[in-house]
Chain A
Amino acid sequence: MSLDYVKFSPGFDKFMPKEYRDMVEHGPFGKKTTVSQMGSFKEILEEHPMCAGCAMTLFIRLAMISFPNPEDTITVGTAGCGRLAISQAAIPFVYGNYGDQNAVASGLSRGLKLRFGDIPKDVVVMAGDGGMADIGFSMTLHSWFRKERFTTIMLDNEVYGNTGGQESGMTNKGQVLKMAPLGKKFEKMDMIGMAKLAGCAYVATVVPNNPRRVESVIKKAVLIAREIGPTYIQAYTSCNIEYSIPTDKVLEDAKSVETDRYAFSEYVSDEAKEYLATRYGFKEYLPKPAAALPKA
């Protein structure tokens, strides 16, 4: 949990793989990296076994770049596709039992608070729609009601992609899948509404076809979770296997879904707005100057 844990012991650097040396010497640790610098520094995410062209991978890659302090971040995940990539990054990853990721993260963030006090240590939960809205639903919601201070990111591919295409709570009504041949009979769960109801300080929906927007959303969510309260991001990350999207049409699909049912939305509580403006200088949340009085 500091910059030192990635560095080499003296004399051992020549035995380390090239990727590791690049990461220590030219990685994002201790620097401010942005999406516009992509391709010119070593990313903390490494090679992973996820499918070619997976939009979830793109989102995870953008998320890893967007963390405000990657050296002070721990990711928590659970069973599902996402953990295949999240676990291949150079930041600690905790793999919870199926569904208990938000409970694990609650303990972890409290423990880090006790151990490190005011030094910010970020806990970020990244799990799929099944782990969060179905199996881990109670733990997710309870962590929000308890106002646990960490970020929850749902990688919503609207299907159980890892196990052959069963419907999840986040699948759209009427959707026919390999293991749901009659089509889903119920509506998609409104996790955004529930997050607001449960008192999340920041709630956003995002589609990874706008990297800068993903970056800004994740930065805000992680910063707000440090002191204000729980934050929730719901990201549409299509499953190109179960939904039969050709890999080169994944971003076209993301674009059409964004205009159709996954429009960008952002809810920031007043307390979080004030915190972002005063502590981190977010200009859009600074109090606006009083309007000039109309001439008499």
Chain B
Amino acid sequence: MYLVADIDVDICAATSCKLCTQYCPEANTILYDDNAGKEKGLKYGAAYVAVDRCKGCAQCVWVCDNMAKHHAITMVMIDQLPKAAITDRITYLDQGGTKALAAPVEVA
């Protein structure tokens, strides 16, 4: 098993810093869903991780803890994730933004 980043939607959707999307070294890995938080009645969207692209370097954790100071990202064993987004289920919207269609998806 290996570690992947997991972003807490409740904390992330209370802010709109998007720093982790800019500091991830992997392309198309941390994506932003503009509606993720609004469905829960929160102010903003939330970032999420395409776990099949994540290499587990934890740079986003450092950025979220030390630069943004939101502490929304943790490293989790991939089989311990209750829900996860994978590239094949992610759609890009015409007006910009992304939507993880079937995310949360069961990993197991």
- B47-A58 in contact (CB<8A): no
- A35-B62 in contact (CB<8A): no
- B61-A42 in contact (CB<8A): no
Closest to B45 in A: A40
- A53-B58 in contact (CB<8A): yes
Could you say which of B22, B30, B32 contacts A35, with CB atoms under 8 Å apart? Answer: B22
- B47-A39 in contact (CB<8A): yes
Q: Tell me the interface secondary structure of chain A in the complex.
A: helix
Return chain B residues, CB-CB under 8 Å to A52. Answer: 25, 55-57
Q: Which of A19-27, A76-84, A171-179 contacts B (4 or more CB under 8 A)?
A: A19-27
Interface residue tally for chain B (C-beta within 8 Å): 33
Closest to B65 in A: A248
- B57-A47 in contact (CB<8A): no
With A36-B18, A52-B56, A247-B59 as contacts: A43 and B27 at CB distance below 8 Å: yes
A-B contact count (CB 8 A): 90
Return chain A residues, CB-CB under 8 Å to B61. Answer: 248
Return chain B residues, CB-CB under 8 Å to A18. Answer: 87-88
Could you say which of B56, B62, B66, B92 contacts A26, with CB atoms under 8 Å apart? Answer: B92
Return chain B residues, CB-CB under 8 Å to A6. Answer: none
Q: How far is the CB of B12 from chain A (nearest CB, A)?
A: 12
Q: Is B98 an interface residue (CB 8 A)?
A: yes
Could you say which of B28, B55, B97 contacts A43, with CB atoms under 8 Å apart? Answer: B28
Closest to A61 in B: B27
Q: How far is the CB of A149 from chain B (nearest CB, A)?
A: 28
Cα(A18)–Cα(B25), bound, Å:
21
Q: Is B83 an interface residue (CB 8 A)?
A: no
Q: Is B21 an interface residue (CB 8 A)?
A: yes
Return chain B residues, CB-CB under 8 Å to A125. Answer: none
Q: How far is the CB of A247 from chain B (nearest CB, A)?
A: 4
Q: Can you name 26 A-B residue pairings with CB atoms under 8 Å?
A: A18-B88, A19-B87, A25-B92, A38-B22, A39-B21, A40-B98, A42-B92, A45-B28, A47-B26, A47-B53, A50-B25, A52-B25, A52-B55, A52-B56, A53-B59, A54-B25, A57-B25, A61-B24, A62-B22, A247-B58, A247-B59, A248-B58, A250-B62, A251-B62, A252-B62, A252-B66
